[in-house]
Amino acid sequence: MAASWLLKSAQCVMTMDDAGSEHVSADILMRDGVIAAIGHDLEAGDAGIVHCDGIVVTPGLVNTHHHLYQTLTRAVPGGQDALLFGWLKTLYPIWARYTPDDMRVSAMAGLAELALSGCTTSSDHLYLFPNGARLDDTIEAAAEVGLRFHPTRGAMSIGESKGGLPPDSLVENEHAILEDCIRVIDAFHDPAPGAMVRVGVAPCSPFSVSRELMRDAAILARDKGVRLHTHLAENDEDVRYSLATFGCRPGQYAEDLGWTGDDVWHAHCVRLDAEEIALFARTQTGVAHCPCSNCRLGSGIAPVRAMLDAGMRVGLGVDGSASNDGGNLVEEARMAMLLQRVDRGADAMSARTALHLATRGGAQVLGRDDIGQITPGRRADLALWDVSGIESAGSWDPAALLLAGPRKVRHLFVEGRQVVRDGQICTLDLAALARQQRSSAARLAAG
């Protein structure tokens, strides 16, 4: 594997820099994991050369919300047509049967699927740890696939017997949760530029942990200098639960417990009202918008146009593979664009804006200024899209990828290392992984 690469004569390089620059017939030189130069007729030196005729280059896409463990429970019959709470109650008993190896296999499959769809950085939200499973299992998986990874140590502590949604067998003691958060941060979190792993703290949702754990998690995260993540205002049921249980809307609940700020991002926020949007914009609180999951669970259309107009930070997420049921991030960006148009008209979101959310937007939500754009000095995380195929044939604007373009990458580089080559994952045996995944899923289905 060459340590340096020269991408030669790309049809278009969409930099996603502040000016939105797009370069035609341009070269990109990657050296030591970093973008060293962009220009014309660059010298290769000892770098490997990738000829890029008919290729559009974008920054690697950034996925801001996922539950990688769910890749083994796609299209489960009892959950196919249920709303959020009913869907969760169908799946909890199945998830309770997971082993550490299931966690690893499921994460690898989910990350491989993401990589093929142009994703170079993914967050993950793991909030159940049955039968000895640990956050470590997913971190190991990400290292094998070769993606940049932001795992968050999730948690559930209020079981059914205390008025929560999950079964008692899947909840943990709150003291043990905080102790394990400290363990994984100390073991894996890397604050340095170019970090391949950054850990976050992420109680599952206001309806599965106590008010005290939400507050203590925020204190711990700030003490350790890591980010906070949870689910918020996902649908009407979720808002009703907040009003009935806490006597306030989700935004107020978040603010009261320290869950606003530029080090916090919330998944979904489909039902934020105008006041909550203003609060999140003012505090620079981020949102992971997951349009396919919102469609799949009938949650509604998140007010993304209003969020952007207010100056909020918005990234995209595929959400767990049990509520999508895929994990294709470029499809997610297209869905984000389409859904705003359903709500607000054809000029509500352009293809380039949606791609901006999938790259720069996601990087900002994860607190990273070293990725998300193609400029010298940024990390060499690049997605190469072949626009010479049938999906792009007849397109007058190949850079409008989300209107007409491939849904899988031709090549993918992370930290200057090639993860996808000629449309295939080159870091692992995908067929063997799919076999493992099928056998794990069959065992879980057998009960």
Residues found near Zn ion in the complex (CB under 5 A) = 267, 319
Please identify, using beta-carbon distances, which residue of 267 and 308 lies nearer to Zn ion: 267
Q: Is 236 in contact with 244 (CB distance < 8 Å)?
A: no
CA distances from 402 to 319, 407, 433 (A): 19, 9, 29
Cα–Cα distance between 115 and 373 in angstroms, integer? 17
Q: How far is the CB of 67 from Zn ion (least distance, A)?
A: 6
Q: Which is nearer to Zn ion, 218 or 267 (CB)?
A: 267
- Closest approach of Cβ 141 to Zn ion, in Å? 18
Tokens of 388: 């010479």
Cβ nearer to Zn ion, comparing 146 with 203: 203
Q: How far is the CB of 234 from Zn ion (least distance, A)?
A: 8
> Whose Cβ is closer to Zn ion: residue 229's or residue 360's?
229
Cβ within 8 Å of residue 441, ≥6 positions away: 72, 73
Q: Which residues pair with 29 in a beta bridge?
A: 6, 37
Q: How many residues does the chain have?
A: 447
Residue 270 Cβ vs Zn ion, minimum distance, rounded to whole Å: 12
Torsion angle (degrees, nearest 10) of CA 120, 366, 235, 273: -140
| Least distance to Zn ion, CB of residue 203, Å | 13
Residue 294 or residue 440: which is nearer to Zn ion going by CB? 294
Torsion angle, alpha carbons of 324, 328, 333, 339, to 10 = -30
Supply the minimum distance, in Å, between the C-beta of residue 171 and Zn ion: 17
> Smaller CB distance to Zn ion: residue 5 or 207?
207
For the CB of residue 354, give the shortest distance to Zn ion in the complex, in Å. Answer: 20
Smallest gap from Cβ 269 to Zn ion, in A, equals 12
Amino acid letter, 80? Q
Q: How far apart are CA 140 and CA 192, in angstroms?
A: 20
Q: Cα separation of 273 and 277, whole Å?
A: 6
- Of 264 and 267, the one with the shorter C-beta distance to Zn ion is 267
- Contact (Cβ atoms closer than 8 angstroms) between residue 26 and residue 38: yes
421 vs 391: CA distance, rounded Å: 19
Q: Pick the closer one to Zn ion by CB: 319 or 331.
A: 319
Identify whether 325 is preceded by a cis peptide bond (ω within 30 of 0).
yes
Pick from 364, 358, 368: nearest CA to 148: 368
Taking the least distance from each CB to Zn ion, the nearer of 27 and 319 is: 319
CB of 231 to Zn ion, least distance (A): 5
In angstroms, give the least distance from the CB of 225 to Zn ion.
24
Please tell me the distance from the alpha carbon of residue 308 to that of residue 324, in angstroms, as a whole number: 24
Half-sphere exposure of 76 (CA within 13 A, CB side): 25
Tokens matching residue 190: 């890397």
Between residues 8 and 67, which has the closer beta carbon with respect to Zn ion? 67
Q: What is d(CA 306, CA 309) in angstroms, rounded to the nearest whole number?
A: 5
Nearer to Zn ion among residue 58 and residue 123 (C-beta): 123
Question: For the packed helices 135-145 and 174-188, what is the interaxial angle rounded to 10 degrees?
Answer: 30
Name the helix (H) or strand (E) containing 280: helix 274-283
| Least distance (Å) between residue 324 CB and Zn ion | 10
The residues facing 28 across adjacent strands are 7, 38
CA distances in angstroms from 252 to 215, 271, 277, 279, 311, listed in the order given: 13, 13, 11, 9, 19
Residue number with the smallest Cβ distance to Zn ion: 319
